[in-house]
């Protein structure tokens, strides 16, 4: 499975599993997020990939950052490091709650060992 597909699966499973609590999980993660120094690429997250529920939860947490408050938009703009950080937070939570697939668990393990 390619990285983009796994990322979409993580977001979709988190939305199905945590429902309204997803906003709280993301908000808590962003409250302690520290941007590393240096320049980071700006990426687009598509509603069609992560799913409507996850997309709406993330938009609620990002507020007006990078003009992400447009309710009609089907993409969100995030810096790559923040995107990876949020994916890792959700992945870790899914694994700890025993909701993750085997591929998700393997992905978390590879991130943790630096592979």
Within a domain: 36:
no
Given 3-state DSSP classes, what are the helix, strand and coil percentages for the chain, each rounded to the nearest 5? 65, 10, 30
Q: Which two tokens stand for residue 25?
A: 């999980």
Q: Across the chain, how many H-helices and E-strands are there? A: 6, 2
Q: What is the pLDDT of residue 67?
A: 78
Report the interhelical angle of 102-112 vs 80-96 (nearest 10°).
120
Buried b or exposed e, range 5-33, using 16+ CB within 10 angstroms = ebbbbbbbbbbeebeeebbebbeebbeee
Q: What is the pLDDT of residues 90-99, one digit of tens each?
A: 999 999 999 9
Please give the residue range of the domain that contains residue 99: 3-31+41-112
Q: What is the pLDDT of residue 39?
A: 84
Predicted TM-score of the model (pTM): 0.90
How many domains does the chain divide into?
1
Within a domain: 25:
yes
Within a domain: 53:
yes
Contact between 87 and 6 (Cβ < 8 Å): no
Q: What is the pLDDT of residues 55-96, one digit of tens each?
A: 999 999 997 777 787 888 999 999 999 999 999 999 999 999
- pLDDT at residue 114 tops 80: no
109 sits in which H/E element: helix 102-112
């Amino acid at each position: 499975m390619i990285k983009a597909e796994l990322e979409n699966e993580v977001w979709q499973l988190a939305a199905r599993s945590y429902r309204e609590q997803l906003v709280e999980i993301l908000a808590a993660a962003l409250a302690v997020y520290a941007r590393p120094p240096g320049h980071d690429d700006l990426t687009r997250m598509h509603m069609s990939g992560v799913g409507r529920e996850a997309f709406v939860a993330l938009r609620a947490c990002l507020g007006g950052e990078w003009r992400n408050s447009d309710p009609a938009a089907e993409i969100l703009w995030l810096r790559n490091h923040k995107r990876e950080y949020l994916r890792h937070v959700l992945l870790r939570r899914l694994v700890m709650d025993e909701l993750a697939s085997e591929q998700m668990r393997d992905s978390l393990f590879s991130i943790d060992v630096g592979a």
